[in-house]
């Protein structure tokens, strides 16, 4: 292969986890091998983002004159694909640390434990960031040539065939940044084709905020979509942008593009996915919103912008009111972030109410995927608990089958005139509830009972206590006397039928 002087080369063993990971990658992972390019470009883009950040806050660094961009070159003859960036680069120690070990603890367990089906689903795998190593799906050798932005650090070359070892040696390299030279396996030669590469970039990396030049031609869009007026953004662009930031291949369920002027100026595009990956991998997902200040990425996974119970929402927020040098620790306490968070919560809840009202089918899809997460808000978000309670859905004795859902609002509208309370029964399934002796009397009297099959529901409803002033009560604690005449239709209308303030 490469004729290189190997003198002064040091050999290293990969961390055991990486060996395992490489083994999985080369055998089962990913039906779409092409995503290796998305991962390499995303790393280049991260390195450029860090560089842009440094150049705003530091005076002294390598390669001040360099444009921040990614160049991609192909060599059909030698079967190589090279990704070159002018990002922060790496020192020797950083190469060993970043590329020789898996930083995110738990990533490997996740992947090893995924079902064969989930392993093939690049949507699932896109959530884990084992990025760099995916290159070994198509490569039989990879070289990383890198020079740090730190003054005086020598450049290094890393190479490995992706089995057990990698090698490092010092090199001459003038330009700051990193070059990844991918030597393609015989059967992966398609990745030296310019049209193929450009189309992969348009598919996965179109919104990378640095120019990606393929053989000298710009291949991506580089617009900050969130700053464009809504009317100028097409449905395809919204969808493409979502796929890009969420690292998935399917369209979102819905999006919300807003700009606010007061009290804080900001732009945002938020998305709700179609699928709740938490229920696929049975674990809480890493989450966060991309936070920008004037198109400069400040944090890729800002958790302080939305509450935990909206952790499935993906998107970007851009505000020029955020100080560039804000540190991760102070996000929570930052006044501007807090204000934005409150506005965003209201916007998301408002949109959900809208959908619930005007597009029931879509809302049901939403609720079945994310209801479990959203309703945590009843417990944690005192200010918005009423709204969240309105958004909750349950199965009930009025439903034809276990799939049908009713809201508390619908329930209260249907309440018998003398019925003062909202009733529920808890059990593992609709079938079990329907066999419950407690249900008998309610059925006889035609009084609706909510069926709580999610173990959290009872806790949330008793925490809520009441809905529109109607106490919420477990069926086995119902005051059956009150229900006595419930089947007789309108009884005793003279006694203030509007007064629902129960005498408890
Ligand atoms: P992740 O990007 O999720 O951290 P990766 O496996 O994709 O995981 O990359 C591992 C690490 O290697 C990165 O976090 C980064 O520190 C380093 N790295 C990879 N590519 C580059 C690059 N082009 N420039 C600088 N550092 C890089
Ligand atoms: Mg990466």
Compute the distance between CA of residue 399 and CA of residue 411 in angstroms, rounded to an integer: 11
Asked if 252 and 242 count as a contact pair (C-beta separation under 8 A), the reply is: yes
Asked if 248 and 108 count as a contact pair (C-beta separation under 8 A), the reply is: no
Crossing angle of helices 360-374/335-358, nearest 10°? 140
Compute the distance between CA of residue 346 and CA of residue 353 in angstroms, rounded to an integer: 10
Torsion of CA 261, 306, 250, 192, to 10 degrees: 80
Compute the distance between CA of residue 436 and CA of residue 458 in angstroms, rounded to an integer: 16
Q: What are the pLDDT digits (tens) for 374-402?
A: 999 999 999 999 999 999 999 999 999 99
Q: Which residues surround ligand 2, an ion (CB under 5 A)?
A: 43, 131
We find that the CATH architecture of domain 392-503 is: 3-Layer(aba) Sandwich (3.40)
**Closest of 101, 102, 132, 127 to residue 114, by C-alpha:** 127
Q: Is 44 in the pocket of ligand 1 (CB under 6 A)?
A: yes
**C-alpha of residue 128 to centroid of ligand 2, in Å:** 9
Asked if 179 and 155 count as a contact pair (C-beta separation under 8 A), the reply is: no
Question: If you take atom 3 of ligand 1, which residue's CA is the nearest one?
Answer: 129
pLDDT of residue 490: 42
We find that the CATH architecture of domain 225-361 is: 2-Layer Sandwich (3.30)
Delimit the domains of the chain by residue range: 2-218, 225-361, 392-503
Q: Is 98 in the pocket of ligand 1 (CB under 6 A)?
A: yes
Question: At the topology level of CATH, where does 2-218 sit?
Answer: Heat Shock Protein 90 (3.30.565)
Question: If you take atom 7 of ligand 1, which residue's CA is the nearest one?
Answer: 131
Question: If you take atom 19 of ligand 1, which residue's CA is the nearest one?
Answer: 43
* Cross-strand pairs, 71: 84, 213
**Closest of 138, 143, 142, 144 to residue 191, by C-alpha:** 138
Lowest mean pLDDT, pick from 123-132, 154-163, 194-203, 427-436: 123-132
Residue 20 pLDDT > 50, yes or no? yes
pTM of the model: 0.72
Q: How many CB atoms lie within 10 A of CB 414?
A: 14
Which stretch of DSSP H or E encloses residue 300?
strand 296-302
Nearby residues of 100 by Cβ (< 8 Å), 6 or more positions away: 12, 14, 15, 18, 166
Site of tokens 């209260």 = 412
Lowest mean pLDDT, pick from 13-17, 145-149, 168-172, 255-259: 13-17
């Amino acid at each position: 292969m490469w004729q290189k002087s190997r003198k002064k080369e040091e050999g290293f063993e990969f961390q055991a986890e990486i060996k395992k990971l490489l083994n999985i990658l080369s055998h089962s992972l990913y039906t779409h091998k092409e995503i290796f390019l998305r991962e390499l470009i995303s790393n280049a883009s991260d390195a450029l983002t860090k560089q842009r950040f440094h150049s705003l806050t530091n005076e002294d660094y390598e390669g001040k004159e360099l444009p921040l961009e990614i160049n991609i070159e192909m060599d059909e003859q030698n079967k190589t694909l090279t990704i070159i960036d002018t990002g922060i680069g790496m020192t020797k120690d950083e190469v060993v640390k970043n590329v020789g070990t898996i930083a995110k603890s738990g990533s490997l367990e996740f992947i090893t434990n995924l079902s064969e089906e989930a392993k093939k689903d690049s949507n699932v795998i896109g959530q884990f960031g084992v990025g760099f190593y995916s290159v070994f799906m198509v490569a039989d050798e990879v070289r990383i040539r890198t020079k740090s932005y730190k003054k005086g650090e020598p450049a290094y070359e890393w190479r490995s065939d992706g089995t057990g070892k990698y090698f490092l040696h010092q090199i001459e390299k003038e330009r700051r940044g990193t070059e990844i030279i991918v030597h393609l396996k015989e059967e992966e030669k398609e990745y030296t084709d310019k049209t193929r590469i450009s189309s992969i970039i348009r598919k996965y990396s179109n919104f990378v905020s640095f120019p990606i030049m393929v053989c000298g031609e710009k291949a991506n869009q580089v617009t900050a979509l969130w700053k464009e007026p809504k009317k100028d953004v097409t449905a395809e662009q919204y969808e493409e942008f979502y796929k890009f930031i969420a690292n998935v291949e399917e369209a979102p369920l819905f999006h919300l593009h807003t700009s606010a002027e007061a009290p804080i100026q900001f732009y945002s595009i938020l998305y709700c996915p179609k699928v709740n990956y938490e229920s696929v991998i049975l674990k809480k997902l890493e989450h966060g919103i991309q936070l920008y200040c004037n198109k400069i990425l400040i944090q890729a996974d800002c958790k302080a912008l939305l509450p935990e119970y909206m952790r499935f929402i993906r998107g970007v927020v851009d505000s020029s009111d955020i100080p560039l040098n804000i540190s991760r620790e102070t996000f929570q306490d930052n006044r501007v972030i807090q204000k934005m968070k409150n506005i965003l919560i209201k916007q998301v809840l408002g949109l959900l109410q809208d959908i619930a009202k005007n597009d029931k089918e879509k809302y049901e899809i939403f609720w079945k995927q994310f209801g479990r997460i959203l309703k945590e808000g009843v417990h944690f978000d005192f200010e918005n608990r009423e709204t969240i309670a309105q958004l909750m859905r349950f199965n009930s004795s009025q439903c034809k089958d276990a799939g049908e859902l009713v809201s508390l609002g619908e329930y209260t509208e249907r309440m018998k005139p003398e019925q003062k309370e909202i009733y529920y029964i808890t059990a593992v399934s609709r079938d079990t509830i329907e066999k419950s002796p407690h249900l008998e009397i309610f059925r006889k009297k035609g009084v609706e009972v909510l069926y709580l099959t999610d173990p959290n529901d009872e806790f949330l409803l008793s925490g809520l206590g009441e809905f529109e002033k109607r106490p919420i009560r477990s069926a086995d604690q119902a005051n059956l006397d009150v229900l006595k005449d419930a089947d007789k239709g309108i009884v005793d209308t003279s006694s203030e039928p509007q007064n629902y303030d129960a005498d408890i």
